[in-house]
Structure 1
Amino acid sequence: MAEANRLLRAARERLPSPGAPGERASRAEVAEAVNAWLWEATGKRHALDAHYLAKLERGVARWPNAAYRAGLRHVLGAADDATLGFVPPRRASGGPLPSPVLFESRWDSRTMIERAIALADHDLLPPERGRSSAREGTLIGHVLTAELRPFLSPVDGVEERGGNAFSPPELDAAEQFVQVLRSWHSAHGALSRAAVVAQLGAHVRRLRAAPQGTPETIRGFRVGAEIADIAASMAWDTGESGTAQRYFVLAAQLAHAAGDDALAAVALASLARQCFDMGRPDDGLEVVQLAQYCTRRIATPRLRAVLATREAWAYALQGEPRAFRRAVALAEDHHGEGVRDLDSRTPSARSLDSAELAGVIGARYRDLARYDPRYAVTAQTYIGRALDLRDPGRKRNRVFDLIGLARAHLLSREPERAAELVAEALPYAGAWASGRVGVRLRDFHREAAVFATVPAVRDVRDAVLKLTA
C-alpha cells in the first residue's frame, strides 16, 4: 500500500476555504485555485481536479508535473516541493526530456547536474525515440522570468563527498577545447551538435562524481557552462527553440554555480536574443534587465556594452526610439572604455569588437526603421562600418552583415543594391542555411516580394528559395 502524503494533506487543511468561512479548503477548491493561477501565469488551461489531488494525498501519485507542483506551491504557500512531500522518481537513462523546473526559489548544484545529464542524454536520442519533443514549447512571460529568478540568490551547494577530482591538466585541455568549439562553429558552421552534447554529458557526469566545493570542481562548473552555451547556440541555429532555451538556462545555472555571474549574464543575453528573434521583446527585456541587475557591481565596461545592445534591441522591436537611442549611447560609451583582463573569459564581451558593435547597432536601427523608414540610412551606415572592420575569417558574421544591409536597402527602396548584397552573401551562406542565416534569408525573400518584378531581385529571390528550401 502506498504511503500517504501527510505533508500535502496538512498543507491543504491549513488553507481556509474561500467559500465556507471557518472551514478548511476542499480538494476541489485547491484544484480550482491552482488551475486559475496557472491560467494567469502561463496563459494555458490546466485540468487539476479533486480526484487527482486525492491520489496525491493518498500517495498513489507522488510526483505531479512541473506546472501542478508550481501551482500547488503557490496556492499552499510552500517554499519547495519537499515541503509538500513530493518526491521525484528515479529517471532511467533515455527517459523523457526534463522540463524546466518552474518557480524554484533557489538553484542547487545537484539538481543542475542531474538536469544537465538528462537533457544531454535526451538530446542524443535518435528522432524516432522522441527527440522531436525537444522542439516543442518554450517558457514565456511570467513563467520564464520566474524560472530565472533564482539567479538573484546564491546557489545551494551539496554535501562534501569524495570522488575523482578534476586535474589541472584536464581542465586546461577542456578550456582549450571550448575555445576550439567556439571558433570552429563561428568560422565553418559544420560542427556536429551531437559531439558537443556528448562532451557536455561526459563532463557533467564528472562533475557529479567530483568532490564538491573545490577550486577544480568550481572551475569544472564554468567549463560546463561554456559547453552548454555552445550547445544552446547550435540548437537555436537549427530552429530547436525549446532545446536551445533549456541549454541557455542550464548555461546560466552552471556559470552561477561557478561563481561567474558575468558568464551567466552572457547566457541570459543569448536567451534574450532568442526572445527577440521569436518576436517577444517584452520577455527579452525582462531577461536583460535581470542580467544587468545581477552584474551591476562586477560587470566590466565591455559586458555592460553587450547588455546595453540587448536592451536597445528590445526598444527597437517595441518602436521606442528615445529609449533605443539612450541604450545605444550607453553601449557605445561603455565600449569606448576599452577591454579589461576579465573580458577574455566572457565570450560575448570578448567578441564585441568595433565591427561587432557596429553590426549589432546597425541591425537594430534596421528594426527601428520598420516604424520610421528614416532610420534605414543610419542602419546602412553602421552595417557598412561593420563590413569594413570585420575580420575576414568571421564568415558567418559577414553573411549576417550582408543580409542585414540588404534588408536596410529594401527599406530605403534600393532593390538593386539589396539584391547585389545578398548575391554576395549566398556563396558563403550554405553552411548555415538550415539555421538562423536561413531565417534571415527567408526574411529577405519575404520583404523583397514588393520588388519581385525587378530582374536582379527576381533572380536573387529564386537563388534564396533554392538554398533555403
Structure 2
Amino acid sequence: MTEPNRLLRAARERLPSPAAPGEHASRAEIADAVNAWLWETTGKRHALDAHYLAKLERGVARWPNAAYRSALRHVLGVPDDQALGFTPPRRADASPLDQSGPPALGWDPAAVVDHAQLMTERDLTTHTRRHVLTGAALLAGTALAAELQPFLFPPAPGAGRTGVTFTGDELDATEQFVGVLRSWSTKHTVISWPTVVAQLNAHASRLRAAPQDRPETLRGFRIGAELADITATMAWDTARHADAQRYFILAAKLAHAAHDDGLAAVALSSLARQCFDLGRSTEGLDVVQLAQYGTRRTATPRLRAVLATREAWAHALLGDTRAFHRAVGLAEDYFTEGTTELDARTPSTRSLDEAELAGTIGARYRDLARFDARHAGTAQKYLARALDLRAPERVRNRVFDTISLARSHLISREPDRAGELITAVLPVAAQWASGRVGAKLQDFRRESASFATVPAVRDAREAIADLTAA
C-alpha cells in the first residue's frame, strides 16, 4: 500500500491561500506558483498541475524532476528535498517525471543576466495571484545558505555572446542615473519602485546581448548590481521583504559577475541587515561571515570595517558581549587605516565616515543594552557624537540617530529626555513615516509603553500613533 507524503501536504497547508483568506493554499495555487517561478528562473514553460501534486501527496509519485523539486522547495520555503518527503526512485524509469530537469540557477554571468531580465519583467507586470504567492516566501536557513554559497567560487567565463558593445557615453549616463537614485535616501525625492525596476530591466536587456568578458560589459554588470541594490533597498524600506531579498541577492550575483566581490559583499551586508530587521540574527551573522570569508584576501580596510560593524550588530542582538566588543574594536581599527580609490566607487564604504561609524556603533550598543542596561550610556556617547558630526544634508541619518538615542534613554530610564528627543524630530521624520523611519518610531512607541503616563512620553506616543496611521 502506498504511504501518503504527509510532509509535502503539511508544507502546502502552512501557506495561506492568496485567493481565500483564512484558508491554506490549494494544490492548483501551488502548481501555478511553481510554474511561474520556473518561468522566471529558467525562461521555460512548465505544466505542473493540481492532479500531479495530488499524486505526490498520495505517495503515488515520490520523486519529481529536478526543476519541480527546486521550485517546490522555493515556493514552500523548505531547505531540502527531504523536508518535502521526496525520496529518489530505485529504478531510473520509475516515473515519467523522474527525468533530469534543468540545473539549478547558478551565478555564471549568462544565467544571472537572464534571471535579472525575467525577474524584472515579471515585476513590471500586473500583480496576479501567482505573483502574490511566489513573492510571499523568504529564503531561510539552509536554503538561503545554498543560494549564496556560489559567492565563494570564481564566476564562470562569459558565454561568448556577440552583440553591440556598451559605449562609454551609455555607461556614463547610466552611472549618473545611479548617482541620482542613490540620493533618494538622504533627500525626500520621490522615485517610484517600478521606475527603477524598469531601468534595471532595460539595462539587463543590453547586458544580455553584449559580448561577455569585455571591460565595458564588466562595467555594465557592476552598474546593474548598483541598480539591483537600490531596487532592493527601496523594497526593504517599505517592508516588502521578499522583494528586497530577491534584489539584494541579484545585486550580489551581478557584482560577482563583474569580478567585483567588494560590491557583492556590500550587497550581502545589506541582506544581513534585513535579516536583523526580521529577527533572524543567526542567519544574518552567517551571511556577514560569508561575505567576510569571500573577501578575506581582497577587501579594503574600509570594507572590512563595514563588515565588522555588521558582525557586531549580530553579536549585539544575540547578547554576545565579548564577540561584540571584538568586532567593534576591529571596525574602529580598520576605519583608522583610511580609504582607497576603490572605496570611493562602492556604496557603504563610500558613505562610512566618522559620523556613520559612530552612529552605527551607538545603535549597536543600544541593542546590547537590552541585555545589560549599563551599555546604554556608551550608546548615548556614540550617538551624540554621530549627531555632532553628521553633515546637515544627511537629514535621514540624523533622524535615525535621534530615534536610536531616544530609545537608549528609555533603557537608562530617562523617559523625559526620550520623549523630548522624539517630539523634536517628528516634524522632520514625518516625510519618511511610511518606511523604516516609521518602523523605528513604532519601535520607540512599543518600548516606551511602561512610561506611558510620563507627559513627554505620552505626547510622543500619541504623535507617533497619529503620524504612522496617516
Structure 2 length as normaliser, TM-score?
A: 0.81
Partner residue in 1 for 2:275: 275
Residue deviations 1:139-188 (CA, integer Å, cap 9, x gap) = 11111111100111122344312212110111111112111110133322
Q: Distance in 1 between matches of 2:249 and 2:87?
A: 26
Partner residue in 2 for 1:183: 183
Which residue, out of 50, 56, 66, partners 2:71?
66
Alignment CA distance shift 1:133-1:189 (3 Å): farther
Q: Distance in 2 between matches of 1:132 and 1:243?
A: 11
Unaligned runs of 5+ in 2: 13-29, 31-52, 75-79, 90-97
Judge conservation of contact 1:302–1:335 (CA < 8 Å) in 2. Answer: yes
Judge conservation of contact 1:231–1:244 (CA < 8 Å) in 2. Answer: yes
Q: Distance in 2 between matches of 1:183 and 1:35?
A: 46
Matched, 1:86 2:101: yes
Partner residue in 2 for 1:15: none
Partner residue in 1 for 2:33: none
Partner residue in 1 for 2:156: 156
Q: Distance in 1 between matches of 2:357 and 2:268?
A: 18
Judge conservation of contact 1:249–1:267 (CA < 8 Å) in 2. Answer: yes
Q: Distance in 1 between matches of 2:185 and 2:286?
A: 29
Judge conservation of contact 2:110–2:159 (CA < 8 Å) in 1. Answer: no
Shift of the alpha carbon at 1:33? 12
The 5 A counterparts of 1:350-429 are 350-429=350-429
Residue deviations 1:265-305 (CA, integer Å, cap 9, x gap) = 00000000000111111000000000000101110100000
Residue deviations 1:17-49 (CA, integer Å, cap 9, x gap) = xxxxxxxxx9x79x979969x99xxxxxx9845
Alignment CA distance shift 1:278-1:68 (3 Å): closer
Shift of the alpha carbon at 1:84? 5.3
Q: Give secondary structure in 1 for the equivalent of 2:448.
A: helix
Shift of the alpha carbon at 1:135? 5.3
Partner residue in 1 for 2:144: 144
The 5 A counterparts of 1:3-402 are 48=56, 50-53=59-62, 56=64, 63-67=68-72, 71=81, 85-87=100-102, 106-127=106-127, 131-133=131-133, 136-188=136-188, 190-402=190-402
Judge conservation of contact 2:186–2:393 (CA < 8 Å) in 1. Answer: no
Q: Distance in 2 between matches of 1:76 and 1:241?
A: 34
Q: Distance in 2 between matches of 1:310 and 1:391?
A: 23
Judge conservation of contact 1:134–1:242 (CA < 8 Å) in 2. Answer: no
Residue deviations 1:223-260 (CA, integer Å, cap 9, x gap) = 00000000000000000000000000000000000000
Judge conservation of contact 1:123–1:134 (CA < 8 Å) in 2. Answer: no
Q: Which amino acid aligns with 1:274?
A: Q
Q: Distance in 1 between matches of 2:131 and 2:460?
A: 35
Shift of the alpha carbon at 1:421? 1.0
Q: Give secondary structure in 2 for the equivalent of 1:51.
A: coil
Q: Distance in 2 between matches of 1:234 and 1:62?
A: 31
Q: Which moved more, 1:170-179 or 1:252-261?
A: 170-179
Judge conservation of contact 2:185–2:396 (CA < 8 Å) in 1. Answer: no
Shift of the alpha carbon at 1:130? 5.7
Judge conservation of contact 2:62–2:88 (CA < 8 Å) in 1. Answer: no
Q: Which amino acid aligns with 2:146?
A: A
Q: Distance in 2 between matches of 1:448 and 1:68?
A: 41
Shift of the alpha carbon at 1:114? 2.2
Partner residue in 2 for 1:456: 456
Q: Distance in 2 between matches of 1:71 and 1:128?
A: 28
Question: Identity of counterpart residues, as a percentage?
Answer: 58
Q: Give secondary structure in 2 for the equivalent of 1:85.
A: coil
Shift of the alpha carbon at 1:194? 1.4
Judge conservation of contact 1:222–1:260 (CA < 8 Å) in 2. Answer: yes
Q: Distance in 2 between matches of 1:238 and 1:187?
A: 16
Judge conservation of contact 1:229–1:247 (CA < 8 Å) in 2. Answer: yes
Q: Distance in 2 between matches of 1:419 and 1:135?
A: 38
Q: Which moved more, 1:117-126 or 1:366-375?
A: 117-126
Q: Which moved more, 1:154-163 or 1:427-436?
A: 154-163
Q: Distance in 2 between matches of 1:298 and 1:143?
A: 27
Q: Which moved more, 1:430-439 or 1:197-206?
A: 430-439
Judge conservation of contact 1:308–1:328 (CA < 8 Å) in 2. Answer: yes
Q: Distance in 2 between matches of 1:68 and 1:454?
A: 50
Q: Which moved more, 1:303-312 or 1:141-150?
A: 141-150
Aligned residues: 414
Q: Distance in 2 between matches of 1:411 and 1:253?
A: 40
Judge conservation of contact 1:113–1:204 (CA < 8 Å) in 2. Answer: yes
Q: Give secondary structure in 2 for the equivalent of 1:187.
A: coil
Q: Distance in 1 between matches of 2:145 and 2:189?
A: 31
Shift of the alpha carbon at 1:87? 4.2
Q: Distance in 1 between matches of 2:224 and 2:247?
A: 11
Q: Distance in 1 between matches of 2:148 and 2:317?
A: 23
Instruction: Spell out structure 1 runs of 4+ moving beyond 6 A.
Output: 31-36
Q: Which amino acid aligns with 1:66?
A: A
Alignment CA distance shift 1:462-1:356 (3 Å): same
Q: Which amino acid aligns with 1:71?
A: D
Q: Distance in 2 between matches of 1:358 and 1:222?
A: 29
